[in-house]
Amino acid sequence: MWKVMRVWRCGGVRWAHRQRPSNELLSELSFDQHYKIRSNIGLLIQDYASKPIAPLDYEYFLQYRPPLTRKEEYMLTIKTINLLLSLTCKRLNAIQRLPYNAVINPHLERTNSLYLKSLQTLLPVAYPYELHNPPKIQAKFTELLDDHEDAIVVLAKGLQEIRTCYPQFKISQFLNFHLKERITMKLLVTHYLSLTAQNNDESDGNTIGILQRDLPIVQLVKHVSDYVNDICFVKFNTQRTPVLVYPPAQDIAFTCIPPILEYIMTEVFKNAFEAQIAHGKEHVPIEVNLLKPDDDELYIRIRDHGGGITPEVEALMFDYSYSTRSQQPSDDEDSTDLPGEQINNVSGMGFGLPMCKTYLELFGGKMDIQSLPGWGTDVYIKHKGPSKAALLAKR
């Protein structure tokens, strides 16, 4: 079907510029023209993929603060687009390097098409004029988020289907880089959208993009534990499991990215609650210890009495696609949204704890697990936040 793209008047005559469908145009190209186009796209992907990218850190999120000047907004837009282009091409390059029997998998082919569409969204930005059009850039970034809404689920299904013909250690290696760079893309986009939104509204100074100053951690623990308790009550029809937080008399304020910490605690609480319910210990309190030795460090220990885990299972806890569940739950049972994601069917795919570990390590934190079979499990979380000097630095 022909599409009318633009209509204007010239000398009293009404003209219409029509764009022909891409599939019709491609069908008229010769083999040499097809090959030249594909080669140029491939060279473009390789060029962007070869560009080095510094690890994402809190200094990046603090370099611009609301209200932004026009120059700051312009520079933030350039940096964000360039980083997204490089990360998108790195993922495309990695997918296309997979063996043939992996690339032709329908779910991996869909993942590849998704990143090609992201490239198509980012490349047409007209420098420098469109960089001064925040609504248009925001629309492109919002489209990017919407396109990647179910990307992890699609990728996970594809990798599960090729496990019999592709070594597990190579799948884990691929996922380590893929999810780390995907998380980076999500954080870049959500930070940009949050920061530009704060630039248009009156900011209270407690939020800088996706960063929140002095987040009350005890309140967050209670919020997450209540949420997981509600899920378990609906799913297992058991009594609510008590949660004890130490120290109980005071809250701890910590500057961080709230959705990340909320996601990590949700995953750990889900495992702890379900383990205690499975062993008939839902009446025994789950213990949470909080410690903030410095402004930029937060330590959390979550202890359950769910019978512990065997050394064989403990060794696999951070492996992608390893899950102790025999089947995936339905959408209305057990679901956890990833930060920046609007999906609820990742549960049971073995991505929970590996994703937690990836989020923590991205900012210099870590996660350790100690378990005593027949007794219970301790999960130790070290979460790093921005330094006091970085927070107080002048613009």
Pairing of strands 207-208, 211-216: antiparallel
Is residue 33 domain-resident? Answer: no
Tens digits of residue pLDDT in 151-180: 988 998 898 899 888 888 888 889 889 999
Same domain, 229 and 204: no
pLDDT of residue 344: 38
Residue 251 pLDDT exceeds 80? yes
In our burial notation (b when 16+ CB lie closer than 10 A, e otherwise), range 373-390 reads eeebbbbebebbbbbeeb
Which of 261 and 338 is assigned the larger pLDDT?
Answer: 261
- Axis-axis angle for helices 31-49, 70-96 (nearest 10): 120
Which CATH number belongs to the domain containing residue 323 in this structure?
3.30.565.10
Distance of CA 353 to the CA centre of its chain: 14
pLDDT of residue 285: 97
Taking CA atoms, 307 is separated from 242, 245, 274, 284, 287, in Å, by: 17, 21, 11, 12, 15
Is residue 26 domain-resident? Answer: no
Torsion 70-73-79-85 (CA) sign: negative
Please name the residue that has the structure tokens 């309140």: 219
Q: Which of 208, 239, 267 is the last residue of a domain?
A: 208
Torsion 196-127-133-40 (CA) sign: negative
pLDDT of residue 283: 94
Q: Which domain holds residue 82?
A: 51-208
Q: How many CB atoms lie within 10 A of CB 281?
A: 17
Q: Which of 208, 238, 261 is the last residue of a domain?
A: 208
Q: How many CB atoms lie within 10 A of CB 303?
A: 18
Torsion 79-80-83-88 (CA) sign: negative
Residue 123 pLDDT exceeds 50? yes
When divided into structural domains, the chain yields a total of 2
Please name the residue that has the structure tokens 């609007």: 342
Taking CA atoms, 110 is separated from 39, 99, 117, 237, in Å, by: 21, 16, 10, 39
Residue 230 pLDDT exceeds 60? yes
Same domain, 189 and 241: no
Q: How many CB atoms lie within 10 A of CB 269?
A: 26
Same domain, 198 and 257: no
Same domain, 305 and 266: yes
Distance of alpha carbon 308 from alpha carbon 378, whole angstroms: 9
Same domain, 322 and 269: yes
Mean pLDDT of 15-23: 53
Same domain, 197 and 271: no
Same domain, 222 and 353: yes
Residue 104 pLDDT exceeds 90? yes
Taking CA atoms, 109 is separated from 9, 113, 116, 391, in Å, by: 44, 6, 11, 43
Same domain, 215 and 313: yes
Mean pLDDT of 229-251: 90
Q: Which of 208, 225, 256 is the last residue of a domain?
A: 208
Same domain, 357 and 215: yes
Q: Is the CB of residue 264 less than 8 Å from the CB of residue 356?
A: yes
Tens digits of residue pLDDT in 44-83: 999 999 999 999 999 999 999 999 999 999 999 999 999 9
Q: In terms of Cα–Cα distance, which of 62, 56, 87 is closest to 361?
A: 56
Same domain, 237 and 92: no
Is residue 373 domain-resident? Answer: yes
Which of 320 and 70 is assigned the larger pLDDT?
Answer: 70
Which CATH number belongs to the domain containing residue 63 in this structure?
1.20.140.20
Same domain, 250 and 131: no
Tens digits of residue pLDDT in 289-314: 999 999 999 999 999 999 999 888 88
Provide the mean pLDDT of the chain.
85
Same domain, 195 and 137: yes
Is residue 2 domain-resident? Answer: no
